[in-house]
């Protein structure tokens, strides 16, 4: 419970209109309304309109030792923005602007609450020759959290994880101090994190427990004039994956490279639980669908790249069609949102996925999503597939190759009916069992981890690394007010 | 945007997604219980806030953009409905106020790609209002004020019924024996009489045998849209009886709200199968032009932008006919606002918002006016007197005028 005195102070900062302790408003911040993670409790929600207002809110929270949770859309599949210790949710959505685009150095400076729709819309309208890495997540979700939590984008083969797209930060620390990190700390240019000590890592992967980002510079990339999206289909993941591994190391202008199994593809078709093939493999259906996106500066270059890609596919007895051609083989009412993924089919990320990948009718979904060594892409699928089927869930597997093939993401989604408490419990068990199973594979490390996964890793991490994280957290947030109950607790 | 994934249902603007197999098919206009297994498909992902996969991804929800908190967007309302239905929330004045602070413009539904939410969220937004009324938390006091007046004087503008036809001139040729009626509506009768006059003059010039009924009452839209379904049905029954007794076979409307009530709500919600053909003025005119019965001769030399009224566009699926008609006027240059057709930004007057939530209403109107100004148009043109009245009340700039489509057609006749 937060006293009326504190509420009045908060109202003074942002205006009465942007503070609420009404139960109907709070209700939507207690829980992420997606995952199987337990509910939390929001006592008050506040919407700052400037970095200075964020600072002032944090200072009050610090004075009174009230927990604060930075929030943009609250959805990340790990319950990371769910308030675990009550307190103030700082909803950043008023800070939703693109402040600057530098086409020479190819970056954009954006505010802390900007959504993918805001960013994409701005670039489409004002800088159509440039593109940001965009997630395959809904347009209303947050750009900054996705970068900080190692989100992966449709330019993952070019630039790596979201964290690697970050050029610089402006951050409010737990003390209320405002800090600039990167080249912007010495100049008006946000071209990079070099050459000073790179302190951005103090906020990346910390799940909002060390600071609140009020500005971030993110890398942009030129939109090249020639682009093709291929959708090769193979009978099994085991057959298709080696081809992708070879493509991952071939260059060839590939900006995005991923594959999914048919379980995941059925969710793209927006099928419901009652109408999916739980085990497409058993039914003899093709279980491997790849997506290869290549782009080029000249037509000749593009033709050569495409030819080489097709040659590699043929080495593995696959003759890939383009996504547009392949989609024609699906009946109209089975196309779902497949066409939304790429410009070649009239779409563009971001994309509304859930309600789709979670087989919509239950509204609940969570994943065991891991960064991984590319050596594990098939084994991860096999292990998670077995567990999914054991729990009566269609295996939904997804693997994306990152940063020129240096590593990859492996991820298995689980859908459930969030209106059914038993199904939620069942989903939790299933997720933990998948997690345990894939831990047999050295190198599988969950990103956006829920608390149970954080605790799992705490025991296994290098002790000195663990202690260092605790010391850093304790230093930046001495009163432990920043998103307490999430991530690794700071040293007292 | 991938437009092929949806289609407009015949006679209704509500789109159905056609790219998904095995959708749950439900009836429209049911109570909350009918939809209880789909509220929670929503994960408040925010898809409902912006024009999905449009170039500029512009914001589309006046309620959310004004209220800011999640509760004011469709996602929030879906989950509040689930919370109420699952016993985690209770009816309160505040909850009711959240649901009423929305113009029910349906721009949000158009964006959501979860089929059952896309198809039915509009139903439970209205069912929640009806539930609020049953529980004594709705409507808002401003709605009660005009509803009481409608029940006594048949209009929401606190005017006397006897003044309803004050706008009518002797030049209008009415035919008491005709079986076609022009349903004028309250806004044109009392506030935007130029629309009534222009429409009647057009019909007269066409030598159409039509009449205007003195006993025409409010169509009931302001009552229905604020969750007072039973009272709205009484009003509807009265109108249907009046027009049936007069032998009317065809009704022409100039108001988008009246058109929707007669064509969609009376038969499908209230089960009043009146059997009359309901035609909105632009539909009638475009047919007559195509048949060579009308010529638009006078050049107007104007650059205009067209505002889709929610009740005509998203609620009834009529987007192209008014545009087609406007393009037939010599000298007219039609330019589009960024948010048009199914993504059109609401003018902020519908759903009881203008009477009860002035801040939201004016904010929405001003945003639309600004968007019209950005096109460089001389005028914003709509096909609904309620939108027109909203624009005229809020336009402060000299360089933008507001017209109804009937006014321009009449000038060009």
Out of A222, A242, A277, a domain closes at A222
A173-204 pLDDT, tens digit each: 999 999 999 999 999 999 999 999 999 999 99
Which structure tokens are listed for A345? Answer: 């089919």
CA distances A147 to A112, A158, A206, B79, Å, are: 11, 15, 12, 27
Q: Domain span at residue A350?
A: 226-446
In a domain, A16, yes or no: yes
Distance CA A81, CA A76 (A): 8
Out of A36, A60, A91, a domain closes at A91
Mean pLDDT on A358-371:
87
The total domain count for chain A is 4
A420 interfacial to chain B (CB closer than 8 Å): no
With cut-offs at 50, 70 and 90, classify the pLDDT of residue A356. Answer: low
Q: Please report the DSSP string for B175-201 in residue order.
A: -TT-SEEEE--HHHHHT-HHHHHHHHH
Q: Which residues of A touch B95 (CB under 8 A)?
A: 24
Contact A73 B43 (CB under 8 A): no
Distance CA B259, CA B387 (A): 14
A14 & A130 share domain: no
Burial category of B390 from C-beta neighbours within 10 Å (exposed 0-12, middle 13-18, buried 19 and up): buried
What's the start-to-end Cα distance of chain A, in Å? 24
Name the strand (E) or helix (H) holding A302: helix A299-315
B91 interfacial to chain A (CB closer than 8 Å): no
Minimal Cβ distance to A354: which of B43, B54, B83: B43
Question: With left for phi above 0 and alpha for psi between -120 and 50, is residue B136 left, alpha or beta?
Answer: left
Q: Please report the DSSP string for A73-104 in residue order.
A: S--SSS-TTS-SS--EEEE-TT---EEEEETT
Q: Which residues of A touch B80 (CB under 8 A)?
A: 24, 27-28
In a domain, A473, yes or no: yes
Domains in chain B with CATH codes: 3-135 (no CATH), 141-287 (3.40.50.11810), 296-412 (3.40.50.1860)
In a domain, A434, yes or no: yes
In a domain, A491, yes or no: no
In a domain, A461, yes or no: yes
CA distances B361 to A281, B351, B356, Å, are: 55, 10, 9
Distance CA B409, CA B251 (A): 19
B93 interfacial to chain A (CB closer than 8 Å): no
Comparing C-alpha atoms, which of A343, A329, A360, A139 is closest to residue B21?
Answer: A360
Distance CA B162, CA B217 (A): 11
With cut-offs at 50, 70 and 90, classify the pLDDT of residue A353. Answer: confident
- Tokens 């829980």: give the residue: A31
In a domain, A250, yes or no: yes
A157 & A170 share domain: yes
A335 & A473 share domain: no
In a domain, A485, yes or no: no
pLDDT number for residue A429: 97
A276 & A333 share domain: yes
Mean pLDDT on A425-446:
96
Close Cβ partners of B346 (under 8 Å, ≥ 6 residues apart): B62, B103, B105, B107, B310, B364, B368
A465 & A431 share domain: no
Minimal Cβ distance to B18: which of A93, A332, A419: A332
Q: Which residues of A touch B88 (CB under 8 A)?
A: 27
Residues of chain B with pLDDT under 50: 1-3
Comparing C-alpha atoms, which of B138, B127, B134, B117 is closest to residue B48?
Answer: B117
A295 & A388 share domain: yes
Interface test with B, best of A138, A154, A272, A365 (most B CBs within 10 A): A138
pLDDT number for residue B14: 65
CATH number, position A381: 3.40.462.10
Helix (H, G, I), strand (E, B) or coil at A180: strand
Distance CA B254, CA B217 (A): 15
Q: Answer for the pair A368, A446: CB distance below 8 angstroms, yes or no.
A: yes
A348 & A460 share domain: no
Distance CA B124, CA B30 (A): 8
A49 interfacial to chain B (CB closer than 8 Å): no
Give the rounded percent of residues in chain A with a pLDDT score beyond 90: 89
A80 & A20 share domain: yes
A262-272 pLDDT, tens digit each: 999 998 888 88
Mean pLDDT on A17-46:
96
Q: Answer for the pair B98, B72: CB distance below 8 angstroms, yes or no.
A: yes
Which structure tokens are listed for B349? Answer: 């007057």
B65-75 pLDDT, tens digit each: 999 999 999 99
CATH number, position A69: 3.30.43.10
CA distances B229 to B101, B122, B131, B134, B138, Å, are: 18, 15, 10, 10, 12
pLDDT number for residue A153: 96
Which structure tokens are listed for B190? Answer: 């009392």
A280 & A372 share domain: yes
A333 has pLDDT over 90 = no
A326 & A373 share domain: yes
B87 interfacial to chain A (CB closer than 8 Å): no
A188 & A291 share domain: no
Distance CA B394, CA B158 (A): 21
Which structure tokens are listed for B220? Answer: 């009931």
pLDDT number for residue A357: 62
pLDDT number for residue B1: 47
Comparing C-alpha atoms, which of B303, B305, B312, B204 is closest to residue B258?
Answer: B312
Which structure tokens are listed for A59? Answer: 């200072």
In a domain, A411, yes or no: yes
Q: Answer for the pair B41, B124: CB distance below 8 angstroms, yes or no.
A: no
Mean pLDDT on A445-456:
95
Comparing C-alpha atoms, which of B336, B344, B356, B280 is closest to residue B309?
Answer: B344
A234 & A293 share domain: yes
B19-62 pLDDT, tens digit each: 888 888 899 999 999 999 999 999 999 999 999 999 999 999 99
Q: Of the given ranges (A90-104, A277-291, A349-363, B113-127), which has the lowest mean pLDDT?
A: A349-363
């Amino acid at each position: 419970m937060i006293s009326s005195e504190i509420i009045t102070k908060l109202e003074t900062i942002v205006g009465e209109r942007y503070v609420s302790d009404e139960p109907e408003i709070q209700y939507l911040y207690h829980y992420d309304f997606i995952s199987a993670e337990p509910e939390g409790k929001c006592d008050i929600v506040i919407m700052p309109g400037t970095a200075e207002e964020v600072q002032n809110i944090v200072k009050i929270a610090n004075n009174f030792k009230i927990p604060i949770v930075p929030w943009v859309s609250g959805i990340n599949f790990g319950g990371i923005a769910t308030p675990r210790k009550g307190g103030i949710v700082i909803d950043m959505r008023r800070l939703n602007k693109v402040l600057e685009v530098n086409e020479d150095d190819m970056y954009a400076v954006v505010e802390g609450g900007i959504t993918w729709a805001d960013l994409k819309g701005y670039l489409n309208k004002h800088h159509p020759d440039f593109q940001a890495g965009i997630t395959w997540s809904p347009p209303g979700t947050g750009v900054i959290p996705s970068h900080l939590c190692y989100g992966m984008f449709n330019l993952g083969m070019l630039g790596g994880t979201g964290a690697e797209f970050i050029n610089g930060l402006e951050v409010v620390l737990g003390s209320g101090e405002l800090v600039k990190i990167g080249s912007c700390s010495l100049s008006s240019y946000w071209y990079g994190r070099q050459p000073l000590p790179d302190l951005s890592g103090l906020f990346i992967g910390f799940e909002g427990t060390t600071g609140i980002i009020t500005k971030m510079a993110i890398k942009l990339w030129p939109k090249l004039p020639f682009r093709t999206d291929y959708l090769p289909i193979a009978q099994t993941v085991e057959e298709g994956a080696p081809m992708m591994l070879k493509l991952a190391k071939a260059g060839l202008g590939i900006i995005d490279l991923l594959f999914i199994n048919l379980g995941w593809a059925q969710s793209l078709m927006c099928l419901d639980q009652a109408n999916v093939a739980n085990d497409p493999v058993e039914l003899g259906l093709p279980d491997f669908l790849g997506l290869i996106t290549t782009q080029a500066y000249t037509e000749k270059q593009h033709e050569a790249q495409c030819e080489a890609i097709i040659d590699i596919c043929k080495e593995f007895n696959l003759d890939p069609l383009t996504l547009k051609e392949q989609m024609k083989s699906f009946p109209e009412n089975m196309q779902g949102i497949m066409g939304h993924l790429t410009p070649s089919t009239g779409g563009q990320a971001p994309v509304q996925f859930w309600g789709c990948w979670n087989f919509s009718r239950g509204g609940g979904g969570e994943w065991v999503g891991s960064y991984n060594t590319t050596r594990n892409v098939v084994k991860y699928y096999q292990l998670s597939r077995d567990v999914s089927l054991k729990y009566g869930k269609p295996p939904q597997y997804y693997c994306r190759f990152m940063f020129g093939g240096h590593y990859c993401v492996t991820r298995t989604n689980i859908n459930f009916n969030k209106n059914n408490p038993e199904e939620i419990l069942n989903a939790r068990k299933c997720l933990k069992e998948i997690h345990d199973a894939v831990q047999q594979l050295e190198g599988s490390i969950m990103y956006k981890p829920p608390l149970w996964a954080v605790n799992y890793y705490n025991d296994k991490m290098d002790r000195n690394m663990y202690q260092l994280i605790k010391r850093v957290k304790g230093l930046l947030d001495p009163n432990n007010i920043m998103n307490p109950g999430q991530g690794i607790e700071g040293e007292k | 945007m991938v437009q092929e994934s949806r289609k407009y249902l015949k006679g209704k603007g509500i789109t159905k997604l056609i790219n998904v197999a095995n959708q749950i098919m439900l009836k429209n206009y049911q109570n909350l219980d009918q939809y209880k297994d789909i509220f929670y498909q929503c994960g408040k992902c925010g898809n409902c806030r912006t024009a999905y996969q449009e170039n500029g991804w512009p914001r589309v929800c006046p309620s959310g953009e004004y209220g800011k908190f999640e509760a004011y967007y469709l996602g929030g309302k879906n989950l509040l409905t689930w919370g109420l239905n699952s016993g985690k929330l209770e009816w309160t004045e505040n909850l009711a106020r959240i649901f009423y602070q929305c113009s029910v413009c349906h721009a949000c539904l158009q964006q959501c790609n979860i089929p059952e939410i896309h198809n039915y969220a509009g139903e439970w937004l209205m069912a929640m209002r009806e539930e609020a009324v049953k529980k004594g938390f709705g409507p808002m006091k401003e709605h009660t004020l005009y509803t009481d007046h409608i029940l006594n004087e048949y209009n929401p503008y606190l005017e006397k019924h006897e003044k309803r036809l004050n706008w009518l001139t002797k030049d209008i040729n009415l035919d008491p024996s005709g079986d076609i009626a022009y349903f004028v509506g309250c806004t044109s009768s009392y506030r935007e009489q130029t629309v009534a006059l222009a429409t009647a003059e057009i019909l007269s010039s066409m030598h159409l045998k039509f009449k205007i009924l003195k006993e025409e009452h409010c169509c009931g839209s302001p009552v229905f849209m604020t969750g007072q379904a039973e009272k709205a049905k009484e009003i509807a029954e009265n109108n249907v009886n009046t027009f049936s007794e007069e032998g009317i076979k065809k009704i022409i409307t100039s108001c988008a709200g009246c058109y929707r009530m007669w064509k969609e709500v009376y038969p499908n919600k209230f089960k009043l199968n009146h059997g009359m053909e309901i035609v909105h003025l632009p539909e009638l005119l475009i047919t007559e032009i195509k048949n060579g019965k009308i010529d638009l001769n006078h050049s107007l030399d104007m650059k205009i932008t067209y505002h889709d009224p929610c009740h005509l566009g998203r609620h009834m699926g009529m987007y192209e006919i008014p545009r087609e008609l406007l393009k037939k006027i010599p000298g007219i240059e039609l330019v589009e606002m960024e948010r048009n057709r199914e993504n059109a930004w609401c003018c902020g007057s519908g759903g009881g918002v203008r009477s009860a939530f002035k801040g939201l209403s004016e904010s929405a109107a001003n945003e639309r006016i600004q968007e019209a100004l950005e096109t460089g148009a001389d005028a914003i043109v709509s096909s609904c007197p309620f939108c027109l009245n909203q624009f005229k009340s809020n336009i402060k700039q000299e360089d933008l005028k507001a017209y109804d489509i009937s006014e321009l057609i009449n000038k060009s006749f």
